[in-house]
Amino acid sequence: MIRVKIMACGLNFADLLMCQGKYQDTPEPPFTLGMEVAGVVDALGPDTDGPAVGSRVAVFGGQGGLAEYGCFPANRAVLLPDDMRFDDAAALQIAYGTSHLALDYKARLQPGETLLVLGAAGGVGLTAVEIGHAMGAKVIACARGAEKLEVARRAGADHLIDAASEDIRERVRALGGADVVYDPVGGDQFKAAFRACNPEARLLPIGFASGDVPQIPANHLLVKNLTVMGLYWGGYLAFKPEVVTDSLATLLSWHREGRIKPHVSHALPLAQAGDGLELLRSRKSTGKVVIRPHE
């Protein structure tokens, strides 16, 4: 184990689900929220060789991040470049990791294909826009309102759909249909996207922020040769951890090259962690909300 002085903790929609006991990996209470952190190693446990004290690291701990210090398994720590901000590192692991695994490892997104991203201004959705753009796809971003759509446009979206006022299915079909659908929303938006898919499209249910888990008609999958691919990023740590570590290495390289740049809409002190969670619940944030325990 290592002890980390936590400089930044990224909040996620899963933290809200944990509060309700609805997340697939909700720990046994009592526990401390905060799944991903960045900070400095300040102590090593018995029989732990490293990372060395003083190392700058990012850690996916699954819990324990909303604190000034936390103890985490040493093999979960990823060394950070000296010039990488803690806020960026705390914002990168889950959101970018999920989108990169989904689009690269699972869907095999190809240059020139059309990627439809639902919830495109949220924590994971915005990273899917950015990564899809970096992979050479034509990106259609779907979000509610002009302000959020502008955030998606700046992240690399080629086309914008306002989910509050436009017909998603008709707009996507008019743009040539979707080859890959990235969906952290669920509900009616998934149903509309499903009906706008091209033959052999791949659909990625990432989450259900709408609260509605859609039921998928298997006969439609058959007729259009569609593939639905579930993805739970944290699950790979249990049975195929090298997939996650390889992905994170790629993302850190992309960050160093300037190909991706985490968007942090709010950075708050630990005393305002509740306000940060409310920003997620009310969907008033874009990109990531980060808590700084030592501010």
CATH of 2-93+240-292, one of 3.40.50.2300, 1.10.4160.10, 3.90.180.10, 3.40.50.720: 3.90.180.10
For 108-228, which CATH class?
A: alpha beta
pLDDT for position 238 = 86
Q: What CA dihedral angle connects 282, 274, 13 and 150, to 10 degrees?
A: 50
- Please give the order of strands across the beta sheet that includes 114-118: 159-162, 138-143, 114-118, 178-183, 197-205, 227-228
Give the CA distances from residue 99 to residues 70, 89, 269, in Å, rounded to whole numbers and listed in that order.
Answer: 26, 15, 27
Q: What would the two tokens of residue 256 be?
A: 């160093």
Report CA Rg, the chain.
19
CATH 3.90.180.10 residue spans of the chain: 2-93+240-292
Bond before 51 cis per omega within 30 degrees: yes
CATH 3.40.50.720 residue spans of the chain: 108-228
Write out 32-76 in H/E/C secondary structure: CCCCEEEEEEEEECCCCCCCCCCCEEEEECCCCCCCCEEEECHHH
Alpha-carbon distance of 120 to 161, in angstroms, equals 10
Q: What would the two tokens of residue 105 be?
A: 């490892």
pLDDT for position 174 = 98
Give the CA distances from residue 273 to residues 28, 151, 270, in Å, rounded to whole numbers and listed in that order.
Answer: 21, 24, 5
Closest CA to 57 of 115, 6, 99, 109: 6
Cβ–Cβ under 8 Å, residues 287 and 124: no
Closest CA to 92 of 252, 279, 245, 240: 252
Cβ–Cβ under 8 Å, residues 290 and 4: no
pLDDT for position 209 = 83
**For 270-274, which contacts have Cβ atoms below 8 Å and span 24 or more sequence positions?**
270/66, 270/67, 270/68, 270/295, 273/11, 273/33, 273/66
pLDDT along the chain (295 residues), means of 10: 98 93 89 97 93 96 96 92 94 94 98 98 93 97 96 96 96 98 96 97 92 89 95 89 90 91 94 96 91 96
pLDDT for position 283 = 87
